[in-house]
């Protein structure tokens, strides 16, 4: 297993986050486990770095090895920062979800285009304590990465829903029936426990981020179905996992080398604190703010002009 500072020599391109039921990624060539230290603590597990479809990818088990980390305990800041340290620019999230719509059936896939956050206890930003940033989350998923996932799903022969709203709840409990009915009245398509704050932090880290939502159940709103259970979820996850792997492989193969979206410059118009930044904040956030850590001309004091020398004055 590689450890820091050997991490600095690794240049992965695409990150893959495996959710419930996807704890490893089959087909990686020359895989090696890489442990990353971050200013925000330890990621959920070592990253498994290897070649996939001719590109270097880094896979991370969101819930840790053996699924030991529940949603509220995931150190998302460390997970996302670790991807940046490895050189990743795009992150694909595979997430188990419950369906809130009759037509979105278990074993279907959905690529959401919107998010609603109902979490209550998770760190939501890298920033603070000296540097303030307000990134735009109007469209929380990368449009280019979303489209690549949708097209890959069709090519894999999966039933793919090309848009929808993902509602993220705190968990770890599933919803009550009253909550499930309320969420349906909001018009959401799927419900899960992990995509916030991942999407927020990926945007702050200027990473492209999109979700492949794997539908496992109908939550508990559908009276003709049994209430959602772990057994039912795991049974469908195993059946969905092979499809998810095929879709992600196709996506990795199809993504263009260069990014054409705005994700890579998300902080350019988000940083409200003027440089120079506080030293402690720079140590914590240096990887993210380095391109913007330059005093503006307005903040740079003008040089005093020397008075003109009188004729014949001594040098």
Please tell me which residue in 3, 24, 219, 231 is annotated as part of the active site: 219
Angle, helices 76-85/279-289, rounded to nearest 10 degrees:
60
Yes or no: say if 83 and 206 are a contact pair by the CB < 8 Å rule. Answer: no
DSSP 86-101: TT--EEEEEEEEEE-S
Strand partners, 269: none
Parallel, antiparallel or unpaired: strands 47-52 and 55-61: antiparallel
What distance in Å separates the CA atoms of residue 141 and residue 114, rounded to the nearest whole number?
Answer: 7
Q: Is 226 a catalytic residue?
A: no
HSE-up (13 A, CA, CB side) for residue 114: 9
Please name which of 13, 1, 26 lies closest in space to residue 208, comparing C-alpha atoms. 13
Number of neighbours of residue 244 by Cβ within 10 angstroms = 27
Angle, helices 76-85/195-204, rounded to nearest 10 degrees:
40
Number of neighbours of residue 24 by Cβ within 10 angstroms = 13
What distance in Å separates the CA atoms of residue 205 and residue 263, rounded to the nearest whole number?
Answer: 9
Please name which of 143, 267, 289, 292 lies closest in space to residue 204, comparing C-alpha atoms. 267
Contacts of 293-299 with CB under 8 Å at 24 or more apart are 299/274, 299/275
Q: Is 231 a catalytic residue?
A: no
283: helix, strand or coil: helix
DSSP secondary structure letter of residue 146: H
Please tell me which residue in 24, 113, 139, 217 is annotated as part of the active site: 217
Number of neighbours of residue 155 by Cβ within 10 angstroms = 15
Contacts of 293 (CB under 8 A, 6+ apart): 275, 276, 277, 282, 286
Q: Which of the residues are catalytic?
A: 217, 219
């Amino acid at each position: 297993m590689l450890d820091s500072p050997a991490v600095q020599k690794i240049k992965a391109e695409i990150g893959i986050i495996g959710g419930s039921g996807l704890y490893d990624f089959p087909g990686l060539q020359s895989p090696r486990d890489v442990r990353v230290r971050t200013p925000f603590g330890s990621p959920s597990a070592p990253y498994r770095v290897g070649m996939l479809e001719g590109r270097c990818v880094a896979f991370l088990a969101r819930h840790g090895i053996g699924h030991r980390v529940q949603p509220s305990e995931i150190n998302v800041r460390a997970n996302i920062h670790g991807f940046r340290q490895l050189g990743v620019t795009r992150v694909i999230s595979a997430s188990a979800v419950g369906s809130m719509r009759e037509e979105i059936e278990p074993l279907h896939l959905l690529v959401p285009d919107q998010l609603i956050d109902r979490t209550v206890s998770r760190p939501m930003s890298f920033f603070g304590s000296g540097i303030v940033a307000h990134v735009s989350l109007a469209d929380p998923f990368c449009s280019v990465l979303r489209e690549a996932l949708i097209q890959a799903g069709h090519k894999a022969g999966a039933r793919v829903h090309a848009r929808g709203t993902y509602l993220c709840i705190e968990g770890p409990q599933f919803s009550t029936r009253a909550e499930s009915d309320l969420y349906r009245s909001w018009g959401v398509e799927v419900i899960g426990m992990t995509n916030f704050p991942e999407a927020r932090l990926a945007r702050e880290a200027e990473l492209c981020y999109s979700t492949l939502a794997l539908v496992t159940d109908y939550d508990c709103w559908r009276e003709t179905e049994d209430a959602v259970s772990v057994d039912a979820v795991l049974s469908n996850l195993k059946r969905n996992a092979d499809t998810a792997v095929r879709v992600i492989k196709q996506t990795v193969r199809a993504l263009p080398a260069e990014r054409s979206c705005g994700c890579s410059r998300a902080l350019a118009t988000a940083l409200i604190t003027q440089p120079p930044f506080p030293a402690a904040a720079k140590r914590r956030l240096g990887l993210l703010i380095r391109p913007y850590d330059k005093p503006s001309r307005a903040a740079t004091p003008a040089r005093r002009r020397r008075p003109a020398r009188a004729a014949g004055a001594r040098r």
